[in-house]
A and B are shown apart, each in its own frame.
Chain A
Amino acid sequence: MAVPPAAVPCRPGGIRPPGCDTGPVAVPLTYLDHAATTALRPEAREAMLEWLGGRFGNPSGAHPVARAARRAVDEARDVVGGVLGCRPNEVVFTSGGTEADNLAVRGVHAARPGPVLCSAIEHEAVLAPVAQVGGSTVPVEPTGRIDLAALTDALAAAAGTTLVSVMAANNEIGVVQPIPDVVEAVRHAAPDATVHTDAVQAAPWLDVAALAAGVDLVAVSAHKFGGPQGVGALVVRRGTPLHAQALGGGQERELRSGTHNVAGIAGMAAALTAAARDRAATAARVSRLRDRLADGLLAAVPGAIETGVSGVAGGDRRHRLPGTVHLCLPDVESEALLFLLEADGVCASAASACASGAQQASHVLAALGVPPERATGALRLTLGWTSTDADVDAALTAVPAAVARLQGVPA
Chain B
Amino acid sequence: MSGGVDSSVAAARLLDAGHEVVGVTMKLWGGESDTGCCSVSDVDDARRVAQQLGIAHHVWSFTDDFERHVVEPYVEAHRTGRTPNPCIECNRHLKFDRLLRRVEAVGYDAVATGHHARVVERPDATRRLARGADTAKDQSYVLYVLGQEELARTLLPVGDITKDEVRAEAVRRGLRTADKPDSQDVCFVTASRGRADFLGRRMALHPGRIVDGTDEVGRVDAVELVTIGQRRGLGMAGAGSPRYVVDVDVPSATVRVGGAADLLATRVDLTDVVWAAGPVAGPVAAQCSAHGTPRAANVAPAAGSGATAAVIFAEPGRRVAVGQSVVLYQRDEVVGGGIAAR
Contact = CB atoms under 8 A, between A and B. Distances in A.
A13 interface: yes
Contacts of B217: none
A397 interface: no
- Which residue of B20, B54, B59 has the most chain A CB atoms within 10 A of its CB atom? B54
Nearest to A23: B54
A386 interface: no
Interface stretch (B97-105, B122-130, B158-166): B97-105
Which secondary structure dominates where chain B touches chain A? mixed
Contact of A358 (B15, B20, B60): B60
B20 A15 contact: yes
A15 B102 contact: no
Contact of A335 (B38, B43, B58, B104): B58
Contacts of A339: 58, 106
Contact of A355 (B40, B102, B104, B105): B40
Given A14-B20, A14-B21, A15-B20, A358 B54 contact: no
Which secondary structure dominates where chain A touches chain B? loop
A15 B101 contact: no
B234 interface: no
Given A336-B106, A411-B101, A356 B43 contact: yes
A283 to B, nearest CB: 34
Interface string A1-38: 00000001111011101001000000000000000000
Interface residues of B, number: 28
A355 B20 CA distance: 27
Interface string B52-89: 01111011110010000000000000000000000000
Nearest to A9: B54
Given A9-B54, A14-B54, A14-B56, A358 B105 contact: no
A11 B15 contact: yes
- Which residue of A343, A356, A359, A361 has the most chain B CB atoms within 10 A of its CB atom? A356
B106 A340 contact: yes
A305 B102 CA distance: 23
Contact of A406 (B40, B56, B105): B105
A333 interface: yes
Interface in A376-411: 405-406, 409, 411
Interface of B: 15, 18-22, 25, 27, 38, 40, 43, 47, 51, 53-56, 58-61, 64, 101-102, 104-107
24 contacts: A11-B20, A14-B21, A14-B22, A14-B55, A15-B22, A17-B56, A20-B54, A335-B58, A335-B102, A336-B102, A336-B106, A339-B106, A340-B106, A343-B107, A355-B40, A356-B27, A357-B47, A357-B59, A358-B43, A358-B59, A358-B61, A405-B105, A409-B104, A411-B101
